[in-house]
Chain A
Amino acid sequence: MLLDAKIPEGKLEDKWRNYQINSQLVNPANKKKLNVIVVGSGLSGAGAAATLAELGYDVQCFCYQDSARRAHSVAAQGGINAAKNYQHDGDSVWRMFFDTLKGGDFRSREANTYRLAELSAPLIDHFTQQGVPFAREYGGVLVNRSFGGVQVQRTFYARGQTGQQLLLAAYSQLYKMIRAKKVRMHTRTEMLDLVVVDGKAKGIIARNLVTGAIERYAADAIVLATGGYSRVFRLSTLAIGCNGSAIWKAHKRGALFAAPSFTQIHPTALPQSSEAQSKLTLMSESLRNDGRIWVPKDKNDNRKANDIPEEERDYYLERRYPSFGNLAPRDIASRAAKERIDAGHGVGRLKNAVYLDFKHAIERLGLETIQDRYGNLFSMYKKITGVDAYKEPMQISPAAHFSMGGLWVDYELMTTIPGLYAVGECNFSDHGANRLGANSLLQASVDGYFILPNTINNYLASEMKTPGISSDHPAFEEVEEEVKEYIERLLSINGTKTVDYFHRELGKVMWQECAMSRNSEGLKKALSRIEEIKEDFWQEVRINGSASQMNPELEKALRLADFIELGILMCTDALQREESCGAHFREEYQTSEGEAVRKDADYAYVSAWEYHSEGFKLHKEVLEFEFVKPTVRSYK
C-alpha cells in the first residue's frame, strides 16, 4: 500500500493556500443533498458538525454522553496556543511551527505542523467572537502565559477552565445549527462499527444507550472525532468513558493506525493513592510556570517538606536542564520524575510522587498573584487531598494523558478508507512523538472548524456523481448482524470476573511496560501477558442484564474488548521502533546521561499499521524534512 500524504506543492507558507485554490468545491444547491456523519461532539466534532452545517451539508452528530457539552474537551484546564505575538517576545508562526516540530522530536509532518501554527491566530479571533471569556488585562486586551517546551508566552486561557469554555462555544454553535434544523444530534448513542461499501465509508452501526436498540445510519462521508484512547492504561487523566472503540473498529475495517504507542505521560497529575482508584486527576501544567519541582537529596529523608532545608533539596529539572528548568517538555519532565522516583527519592505515602513547590513564587510575587493565577487549582487540590498547597508543596506524579497516535490521515485528514475522516485527538497528525502543552485544544479546534470543512468538499464533489447508499443496503445488514452476534457472545460468557478486574490487569501491564520507558524484553512479556488477558476475558468476564436496556457494564465491556486488542498493537509498535524519540523512550537507546537517542537514518518515518487477524502489517510514511534540519532535541 502506498501512503500518499497528499502534501500540496510550494513553500511551507503557501501550501495550505495552494491546497484551497486547487481543491474542488460543491455547488451550494447540492450541499443539502449530501449528508455527513460526525461521531464525537468534543472540540473537533462539535466544531466540524457546526461548520459543515453552516456550509449547507446535512449533518448528524453523535456522542455517548447525555449532552454534547460533556465531551472530554471540557476537562482541559491550561490553555490553547496561538502565534499572535501579543507579548512582543519574538513569537511567530515559524517559531511556533519549529517549537512544535522539535517538541515532537521530528516525528511529525512539516506541512501539517506548519498549518497548525498558521491557523492558530485566526482561531483565537474566532473563539473570542463566539463568546469565550479569555483572560484579559485591565485595559481590555488578551493575556498570555507560557507552557512547557517553549520560551515565549503564547498560551491563551480562561481561568483554569479553558477546555470548558472552548467546548461551550463549540457546543453552542452546534445547538445554533440544531435549531436551524441543519444538524440532528444523537446523544447517548455509541458507534459500534463502520460500514464500508465498495471500499468507501458509507455509514455506522450504533447502539442507543438508553433502549439498547442497534441502529443504522448512512451518509456520504463519515468523520470520526472520538478523542484519545489513553484509558487503555486504565489510570489516566482522561474521562472514564474515553475509549478507542470507534477508531479501532475503523482500523479493523481497513483504516491504518499510526504511531499507536506514542502516549504522552503528563508530569503533573496527582499520585495514585490506592488500588481502588478509577482515574488520576491532572493539575494543570501551567503550575510549572511558577512552581519549582524537587525531591529530597537523601532518599531516607522522612521530614515534612517544609522542614527540609534548601541545600538538601534536589531541584532536578533545574539541575539537568538549566535553560528550560521546570518548563522542560512533558516527556522530559515525566521521565526525570520517574527516574528520581525509581531511584528511591519519591515522596508521599506510596513514595510515588515529587514536590511542586510555590514557596518561592509566593515570596516573589505575593500570595494574591498566585491566587489569581492558580486559585481554582489550589482549591481543587485541597478538595481532593485535604492539603493547603499555599502552605506546603503539592505532591505530583506522572500519568498517562494524551494519545499522539491514532488513525493515519493524509493532509486532508482522510484515513486510508475513502470517505472516512479523523479529526482531533483520534488522528495521529501534527504532534509527532510528543505534544507540547496547549497544542491539543488547538489541533482539535482547527481540525474541526477550519481544515476538515475545507477538505471534505474535495471528496464529496466526486461523491455527488454516485447515488447515495441507504441503510437498507445489504452491507448494513451484514455489519449489524455481526455487531449483534458480538454482543450476544459477550453477554453469554457469564464468567466469574468483572470488567473492571480485566481493565486493572491490562492497565498494569501497559503502564509497566509500554508507558514512560520501554525495553524489548518487557514489551515481549507484555505481549504474551495481554494475549492471556484477552483469552481469560473471553472466558471469564461477567455482565449481567440484557442488551435491550441501559446496561453500563455492557458498555464498559465493549470498550475494554477493544482496548485489549489495541494494547497488543501498541506494544507491537513500541517493540518495532528501535530508537528513542519523544514519549517513546527505549531503554536500549540512551546516552550515558540518560538522554534519548533518536535514530533518524533508520526511523524517520511514521509507522502505519494495517490490521490482519493474525498480526499487524507495517507500512512506512517516510518523513521528509525539506525546510528544517532535524537536530538533537536538547533542552539543556
Chain B
Amino acid sequence: MKVTFRIWRQENSKSKGRFKEYETEGLNEDMSFLEALDHLNEQLVLQGEEVIAFEYDCREGICGQCGVFIDGRAHGPHRNITTCQLHMRSFKDGDVITVEPWRATAFPVLKDLVVDRSAFDRIIEQGGFITAKTGTAPEANAIPIGKEIADKAMDAAACIGCGACVAACKNASAMLFTSAKINHLNALPQGKPEAYSRTKDMVAQMSLEGFGNCSFTGACEVECPEGISISNISEMNSWFLKAKLFG
C-alpha cells in the first residue's frame, strides 16, 4: 500500500509551521495508523531527515496521548476512537492523508504534531479530586452506592483526557472534559461535600486557560473516544448555577 502523508512540521513553539508531503510505500492494511507513521519515520532516519514528532504511549486507546487531526477530524475518519486504534484499512491505496496537531490557543504546539495539554492538569488541580487523606477511609461497603449511580459516575469517569473534544470544537471549548470530571465526582456520595467549590473552581480555571464556550454543536461527543455524552455539559451548567445560588 502506498499513500502520501501531508504532515504539519514545526520546529518548536516559537517557530512557524508548514505542511510537508511524504510519499510512503510498503504499508499494509493491518498496520495501525501510528505504525504507518513509525514506518515513515524509519525511512526519514535513513534519508537523514529528522523524524516527525508525534505522541503515543499505550497504543490501546486508553492513555489518551496519541491525538492528532487527520483529514480534518480528530483521531481520523471514524467516530469514537483514538488515533492508535485507527488502521490503514480505513484508507485507500494512493490516498493523500493530511495530519496536523490539535489546534487550540490553550494547547500550544511544542513540535510537529505534539501539543501541550497541561491546561487539563491545571483544571484538575483546581478541585478534580476528593479531599481525603491516605488512611482515613471508612469501610467500602459502609456507604452503599446504587448501581445506577456507580454506572453514571463511571460513564463520566471514562474520559481519557485526550483533548479530542477541544480539537473538534469550533470554539475550542473544554466543557466536555471539565464536565465529565466534575460529574464523575459530584455523582458519588464521597464527592458531594465539595461539589459546589469543585464546580466553581474548575470552571473558573477552564476560562483562565483560554478555552472557548460551548455552543452545543455536538462535535465533541462524536469524536470522543469514550463517547462521553454531551448531556454532561448541561449537568455541569446546572451544578454551576446551584453552586452560585447556594454554594
Q: Identify the A interface with B (CB < 8 A).
A: 47, 50-51, 54, 65-70, 72, 74-75, 84, 86, 122, 124-126, 128-131, 133-142, 158-159, 161, 164-165, 168, 171-173, 175-176, 178-179, 185, 187, 210, 239-241, 273-274, 276-279, 281-282, 380, 383-384, 386, 449-450, 453, 496, 498-501, 542-545, 549-553
Contacts and interface: CB of A to CB of B under 8 A. Distances in A.
Contacts of A161: 62, 158
Given A54-B134, A239-B63, A274 B58 contact: no
Given A141-B144, A241-B57, 15 more contacts: A54-B133, A54-B134, A67-B161, A69-B64, A122-B137, A135-B150, A175-B121, A178-B125, A239-B63, A277-B35, A383-B61, A384-B87, A449-B134, A498-B45, A544-B50
Contact of A70 (B44, B65, B87, B188): B65
Nearest to B39: A276
A51 B134 contact: yes
Contacts of A84: 140
A278 B59 contact: yes
B185 A131 contact: yes
A240 B58 CA distance: 6
Contacts of A65: 57, 63, 65
Given A125-B140, A276-B39, A140 B50 contact: no
Interface of B is mostly: loop
Nearest to B127: A179
A66 B101 CA distance: 15
A172 B124 contact: yes
B55 A133 contact: no
B157 A168 contact: yes
B63 A75 contact: yes
| Interface residue range, chain B | 35 or more
Interface of B: 11-12, 28, 30-32, 34-35, 38-39, 41-42, 44-46, 48-51, 53, 55-65, 81, 85, 87, 89, 110-111, 114, 116-118, 120-121, 124-126, 128-141, 143-147, 150-151, 153-154, 157-158, 160-161, 184-185, 188, 190-191
Contacts of B44: 544
B141 A86 contact: yes
A129 B124 contact: no
B143 to A, nearest CB: 8
A273 B30 contact: yes
B85 A125 contact: no
Q: Which 3 A-B pairs have the closest CB atoms?
A: A140-B144, A172-B129, A129-B137
Contacts of B114: 550
A139 B188 contact: no
B62 A75 contact: yes
A129 B134 CA distance: 10
B150 A66 contact: no
Contacts of A179: 125-126
B125 A131 contact: no
B118 A128 contact: no
Nearest to B144: A140
A126 B154 contact: no
Determine which residue in B124, B188, B191 has the highest number of CB atoms from chain A within 10 A of its CB, and name it.
B124
A128 B134 contact: no
B130 A130 contact: yes
B129 A274 contact: no
A542 B158 CA distance: 40
A178 B122 CA distance: 10
A142 B141 contact: yes
A136 B137 contact: no
A278 B58 CA distance: 11
Contact of A165 (B120, B121, B157, B191): B157
A67 B147 contact: no
A129 B138 contact: yes
Contacts of B136: 129
Nearest to B32: A278
Nearest to A237: B60
A550 B12 CA distance: 8
A69 B121 CA distance: 9
